[in-house]
């Protein structure tokens, strides 16, 4: 999943893509580099980011999605927690809604997704951007993420969203200290098995990587991202959300081959 931030304050993009033509070119380039999905976002959700009014978010993402709808050969998701933005984005050509709030901010989003027939990504998080680290208190981060995401799935299904249209994201870096994010990556297989849904992981250029590589700016964390991406794929992630698509496609393909061989060897050992 290639990240297309149509915002002026992304933590990881040195050059904002607010101009629709620039954003379209960036998305087409990611597709050419091997992206399977493009995730279009009009509001930064980095720690401390200010909320964006719905009309402003709509003005950022809808023209880009509409322009890409006739040019991309791969699906688009819209990264939003707002029902009005999700409806407009799906009408414009998005087929997936990626909600970082797990319906906590706008429960009506569930009805909007159900009515649209779109697929859904539900991410684990706590608090808002300004308070998420205050909520990063866990006795067992993986078990608690499993429990809270399970509740999100039940709400989605009760709202009319088919379970087989739901993807889950454990929320690396969201309401999680570095140790929590590494803990989720280390036990991703346990999480995936318990939730029994496809898993999306988004480690790209996030601040938890500094725990291992030092205080590098976000744009210099692609090697660190590569390690986290490989670990996620080897542990069973179905989708990885990244900025540097061309480089991470190579990482994913190699990790996939290793995982396949491991599965073959395991199968032979059980036969």
Residues noted as catalytic = 206, 241
DSSP state of 199: B
Contact 86, 113 (CB under 8 A): yes
> How wide is the angle at C-alpha 85 spanned by C-alphas 79 and 87, nearest 5°?
105
Could you tell me if 214 and 261 are in contact, meaning their C-beta atoms sit under 8 angstroms apart? no
How many Cα atoms occupy the beta-carbon half-sphere of 116 within 13 Å? 26
* Residue owning tokens 């088919």: 162
Which helix or strand (DSSP H or E) is residue 233 part of?
helix 222-234
Q: What is the Cα–Cα distance from 198 to 242, expressed in whole angstroms?
A: 17
CA distances from 11 to 14, 150, 185, 205, 269 (A): 8, 29, 22, 9, 46
H helices of 117-201, where?
A: 141-158, 178-186, 188-195
Tokens 């309401």 correspond to 175
Contact (Cβ atoms closer than 8 angstroms) between residue 189 and residue 232: no
């Amino acid at each position: 999943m290639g990240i297309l931030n149509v915002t002026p304050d992304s933590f990881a993009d040195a050059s904002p893509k607010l101009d629709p033509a620039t954003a379209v070119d960036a998305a087409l380039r990611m597709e050419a580099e091997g992206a399977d999905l493009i995730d279009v976002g009009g509001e930064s959700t980095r720690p401390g980011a200010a909320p964006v009014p719905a009309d402003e978010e709509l003005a950022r993402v809808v023209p880009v999605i509409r322009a890409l709808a006739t040019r991309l050969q791969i699906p688009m998701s819209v990264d939003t927690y707002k029902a009005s933005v999700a409806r407009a984005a799906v009408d414009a050509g998005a087929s997936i809604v990626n909600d970082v709030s797990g319906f906590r901010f706008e429960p009506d989003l569930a009805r909007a997704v159900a009515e649209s027939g779109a697929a859904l990504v539900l991410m684990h998080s706590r608090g808002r951007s300004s308070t998420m680290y205050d909520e990063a208190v866990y006795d067992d981060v993986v078990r608690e993420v499993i429990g809270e995401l399970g509740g999100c799935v039940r709400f989605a299904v009760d709202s009319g969203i088919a379970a087989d249209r739901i993807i889950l994201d454990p929320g690396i870096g969201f309401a999680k200290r570095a140790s929590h994010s590494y803990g989720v990556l280390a036990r991703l297989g346990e999480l995936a098995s318990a939730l029994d849904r496809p898993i999306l992981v988004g480690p790209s250029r996030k601040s938890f990587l500094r725990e291992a590589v030092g205080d590098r700016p976000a744009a210099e964390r692609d090697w660190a991202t590569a390690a986290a991406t490989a670990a996620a794929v080897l542990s069973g992630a179905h989708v990885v959300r990244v900025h540097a698509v061309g480089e991470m496609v190579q990482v994913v393909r190699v990790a996939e081959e290793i995982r396949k061989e491991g599965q073959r060897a395991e199968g032979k050992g059980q036969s």
